[in-house]
Homo-oligomer: A and B are copies of this chain.
Amino acid sequence: MPVTIKDVAREAGVSISTVSRVITGDSRISQPTREKVRAAMARLGYHPNAIARSLVRQRSNTIALVMSRAPRLAMAIPFYPEIIGGISEYATAEHYHLMLVSSESREEECVQTLQLLRHRRVDGVIHLATRIKDPLIDTMRREGHPFVVIGRVPGVEVPSVNNDNVAAAEMAVTHLLDGGYTSVAYVGGSPDLVVTWDRREGYCRALTGRGIPVREDWIICRESTAEAGYEAGIELLSSPDRPQAIFAMDDTLAAGVLKSARKLGISVPQELGLVGFNDDPFSSLIEPALTTVRIPIFEMGREAARMLIGLIGGSSPSQNVVVPAELVVRQSSRRRTPPAG
């Protein structure tokens, strides 16, 4: 039986309310009383019970992160840890706690998240990596729970932080075309993620902008794993009629593609140009170092946390933050001899 506010009140010879007011920092308490209560708390080793406080305040001071992917898959992509770091930093500073929702199946994840919200265990949700059609988002909107997405929800206005994936992908593919690679394929992640389609759209725009027709058989979208990237690479590169370059939706996929090229004896960047996305930590370490698109992932997390906590506090409903993207040119997209023309 831990010591409660009642014990402190008795010890200090004041009422419970007074102790409570000392805890919450109410200015009406006189200095002597304040000190008396503080001393009693210290003597007894008192720590206020956050659960009881939550009950009366109707606020848990906790937010949930939903990852939209199985934990072992999600966290293996450095994007997630990085974004969590950003969220964590801001939330901690604002005295919020972080709950991690992660589940193998989407249905499970959806159920768990809604439970957390409905049971009032968390005050709001940050949703990482939005899907094309996500019942969780619909339900949260309908029930009026505060939430922020990292990404974009097609068709509806929801508070979000995102980068312009279409423009960034277009920039990446244009870079390949400028580098003398005349044909480019696209390897994407899961087709039910919005980001897969946005980057695909940018890829298509870059091609059609140059009058190059889009070949459907050069677009492969499966999962964001190195294995999927490897298999996509094998499929694309085995044919004699193969693309000169590949734009992969993220660095993990690009690493898989790289492996497939090595396996097939195709040299990068001489015979194949390759560009990834995210600038994962390992991207500068692999051989050849990977050209990639860098976005301020940590800052995106921080911004999402800021928006969510604002929302919980009752601030204006919907806003959207767009962060910049930057091309990081390394070896994988740079032929040693510039193209003849």
Contact = CB atoms under 8 A, between A and B. Distances in A.
Interface of A: 2, 47-52, 54-55, 60, 62, 65, 70-72, 74-76, 78, 80-82, 84-85, 88-89, 92, 97-100, 102-104, 108, 112, 115-116, 118-121, 226, 252, 255-256, 258-259, 262, 281-282, 285-287, 298
Given A49-B120, A120-B50, A255 B72 contact: no
A302 to B, nearest CB: 11
A113 to B, nearest CB: 11
A95 to B, nearest CB: 10
A329 B150 CA distance: 40
Main secondary structure, interface of A, reads helix
Contacts of A112: 92
A337 B50 CA distance: 65
Nearest to A2: B120
A256 B281 CA distance: 11
Contacts of A255: 282, 285
Contact of A286 (B97, B120, B285): B285
For the complex formed by this chain, how many copies does it contain in all?
2
A71 B55 contact: no
19 contacts: A47-B118, A49-B119, A51-B55, A51-B120, A62-B99, A62-B121, A71-B88, A72-B81, A75-B80, A75-B81, A75-B85, A76-B82, A80-B81, A88-B100, A88-B102, A89-B104, A98-B100, A255-B285, A286-B286
A116 B285 CA distance: 39
A255 B51 CA distance: 45
Given A70-B85, A256-B285, 12 more contacts: A71-B88, A75-B75, A75-B78, A75-B80, A75-B82, A76-B78, A76-B281, A92-B102, A92-B103, A92-B112, A97-B99, A100-B100
Contact of A84 (B60, B100, B281): B100
Contact of A74 (B47, B50, B81): B81
A48 B116 CA distance: 11
A62 B100 CA distance: 11
A255 B47 CA distance: 46
A80 B285 CA distance: 20
Contacts of A52: 55
A97 B121 contact: yes
A92 B108 CA distance: 10
A50 B119 contact: yes
A103 B80 CA distance: 17
Contact of A258 (B60, B62, B285): B285
B121 A50 contact: yes
A260 to B, nearest CB: 11
Given A103-B92, A287-B286, A51 B121 contact: yes
